A and B are shown apart, each in its own frame.
Chain A
C-alpha cells in the first residue's frame, strides 16, 4: 500500500510585481508534511515575497496558494513591541491563537527552553540581543502549533551553538510531521534539507553571469 503524502503547501503559478518590476513569475512550489524545503536565490529574487504571499500577508497578482494546516510565520526582522517583555508577547500572541494567559506562558516557555532562551524574561525586547529577539520571534511563530512553518532566515543573530541547534530543531519538527520552508543563504546546511528550490534571479540581475 503506497504511503499517503499530505500536501501542506501548494503554490501554483504565483506571480507578483512591485509597480512595473516583476519579482515572482509563475512560481510553483509544493511542500509535503514532514518535509524541509530550502528556498534560495539571489537578493531580490523574491524569497521573502513568496513567503509573505504563502503566509497571506501579501496578495499575489496571479496564481493560487493552498495550505493544509495552521501556518507559523517567522519574519526575517522580528516584529515585536520594543517595550514589552517576552512574557507579555507570549500572552498577547497566545490570546490571538486562542490560548489563555497561563497556556500561552506554558507553551511559550517550553518553546523558549528548547532554544536556550535566557532565564530573565522580564527584559523588554529593546534590551535583548539580536539573537535573543530572534528566538522569541521564532517561538511566537510556533505558538499555534503550526503544521506549516514559513521561516524567513530565522537564525539571524544566533550564535554558532544556537544556529546548529536550530537545524536540529528543524529535523525534529519534520519528524513531528510539520512541513517547513526555510529561506536560507547557508549553502553548507543544504544537506540538512530534503529539497532546495532556487528562485530565479531578479530580472535586473539576470544575464550577468
Chain B
C-alpha cells in the first residue's frame, strides 16, 4: 500500500508539474497535429504520420521528465522511494495523458480522413502513446543528458518514419507494431492481435531496460550500522 501511495503521489506531482508547462502541453498536441496536417494531402496515408508525431511528442515528454530531474530523483530515492516507483509514477501519469491525446486525434482524423476502421485507428494511436512512454524512459535511462536522448529519439522514430513498413529494419523498431495497427485502421484489413502482442512484448522489454539502468543510476548505498559506541 505504501508503495502504491508513493507511485500515486509521483504521478500526481508529475501531472501538476506538466500542467504548469503550458507551452510544453500545447506542443504535446501541436506536434502530432502538425505531422498529420502536413501530410493531409495524402489522404489516409497521413494517419501513420500523425501516429509518428504522437510517438515523438509523448516519448519526448517521458524523456525530459526523467532526464531533467535526475538530481531530485536520487534525493527521492535517498528519502525512501524505490527507482521503480519513480518510473511507474511517470508511466501512470504520461500513459493516460497519451491515451487522452490519442482519443482526441482519433476523433479529428476520423472526421477528416475517413479511415476504414476508426476502432483500429484508435487502438493504434493508443498503443503508440502507451509504447512511447517506456520508450522515452528507456532512452532516458541509457543516455547521460537531454541532448543525447533527443538525438536518439529523433533517430529511432525518424528511421521508423523513413523506411517502409516491409523493410527488415522497420520490424526491429519499437513502433512497428503500432504502425501496423494504424495501417489496419487505414485499410480495414488484417488482425490487430499479432501487432498488439508484439507491441506489448516490446513495451515490457523497454520498461525492463529503463528499470535496470535507472536502478543502477539512482542506487543509494545503505550503510551498515555503527556499533553504537
Same complex origin of A and B? yes
Please list the residues of chain A having a beta carbon within 8 angstroms of any beta carbon in chain B.
Answer: 4-10, 54-57, 59, 64-68, 71, 73, 75, 77, 79-84, 88, 91-93, 95-98, 124, 140, 143-144
Q: Are A68 and B2 in contact (CB under 8 A)?
A: no
In the bound complex, residues from chain B placing their C-beta under 8 Å from that of A57 are 74, 78, 220-221
Contact A8 B226 (CB under 8 A): yes
Chain A minimum-CB-distance residue to B71: A79
**Residues of B participating in the A interface, judged by any CB pair closer than 8 Å:** 2, 5-6, 9-10, 13, 16-17, 20-21, 69, 71-72, 74-76, 78-81, 220-229
B13 with A92: CB separation less than 8 A: yes
Could you tell me if A66 and B80 are in contact, using CB atoms closer than 8 angstroms?
no
Whether the pair A4, B229 counts as a contact (CB closer than 8 A) is yes
Query: Roughly how many angstroms separate A81 CA and B50 CA in the complex, as a whole number?
Result: 31
Instruction: Please state if A75 and B75 are interface contacts (CB–CB under 8 Å).
Output: yes
For A97, the chain B residues whose CB sits under 8 A away are 79-80
Q: Which one of B69, B72, B228 lies within 8 Å of A6 (CB-CB)?
A: B228
Q: List 17 A-B contacts (CB under 8 A).
A: A5-B229, A6-B228, A8-B226, A9-B226, A57-B221, A67-B226, A73-B75, A79-B74, A81-B72, A84-B17, A88-B16, A91-B9, A95-B5, A96-B6, A97-B79, A98-B2, A140-B75
B81 to chain A: closest residue by CB: A96
Whether B20 pairs with A92 at a CB distance below 8 angstroms is no
B17 is contacted by which of A4, A5, A56, A81 (Cβ under 8 Å)? A81
User: Is B80 within 8 A of A67, CB to CB?
Assistant: no
A59, B79: Cβ atoms closer than 8 Å: no
CA distance A101 to B109 in the complex (A): 42
**Residues on B with beta carbons closer than 8 Å to the beta carbon of A8:** 226
Q: Which of B2, B6, B226 has the most CB of A within 10 A?
A: B226
Residues of B within 8 A of A79 (CB): 71-72, 74-75
| Contact status B79-A7, CB under 8 Å | no
When A95-B6, A96-B81 are in contact, do A81 and B226 touch as well, CB less than 8 Å? no
The verdict on A67 contacting B223 (CB below 8 Å), with A73-B78, A88-B13, A97-B79 known, is yes
